[in-house]
Structure 1
Amino acid sequence: MAIDRHKARILGMQALCQLDAQGDEYLPKVATFLADHIESGETLSYAHDLVELAWREREVVEKEIAQHSKGWTMARMSSVDRNVLRVALAEFDLKQAPPKVIINEAIEIAKEFGSAESGAFVNGILDKVWATIDPDAREQKG
């Protein structure tokens, strides 16, 4: 069965929201949470990789996000927006999906689970982040 990356991203974001709320105490429960919602082994593994990388590297990820979110601290962002961004940056690092797909998926998930402004907010930050990772990204996007 193919990896359902969309489902992995959503559940990864939700697990990270729980980690935000409960801290490292929730870490042992992440695997159970994901397994309760994902049947495919490959999708489960992908979701787990996203959560583990995003949480383990959150200081680096948060610095990257903060650099491109003028006037917004991580604490000021909604939990959904913050964790959609964390998942997307983790996925950039995994390099298993094209950046345009990662960005578009993050926007759609932010719209679905966040506020009316979440999609535009996430889009603005991820475009800036990706442009620093790949300076040719702006030319490719158009």
Structure 2
Amino acid sequence: MLSHPDSSKGGVVLLTVWHWLGFVIIICLANLQAISSELYEAADIDGASGLQKWFFITIPNMGGTFAFLLVIGWIAGLQRFNEVFVFGGASGSPSRSLQTMVLFIYERGFSGFEFGIASAATVILFIIILVLTLINLRLARVRM
């Protein structure tokens, strides 16, 4: 499974989902418990169905949580190193199909001793993460 480029990507995806699933569930459950039960009681009095309560109470009140999880997911995705290193080593084998930006930085900095290239790639990675975070916060209308 790990020797073919396509299936090795699937292995990394499965490992990553398994690694992050518990964190996402705990964050979502904590936010669900923070939603006031009075909102649901008022919706029951008004005759709202379960689906209407889900779309008009639950989802809007979890918007900040979804924005947080999206930002954390983007940052974790762009900084993906452990899973890829375990599956493919420093080069992202097989056929460099698992190469990520952080693996590129690691390979240039610690294997090739090209510290200038590794530093420049690190700054670019920081700028990409910053821009994506600001865009997400703007779209989610979350104030800093």
The answer to whether TM tops 0.5 is no
Q: Name the larger-Rg structure.
A: 2
The TM-score range, normalised by the shorter chain, is: under 0.3
What is the TM-score when the length of structure 2 is the normalising length? 0.27
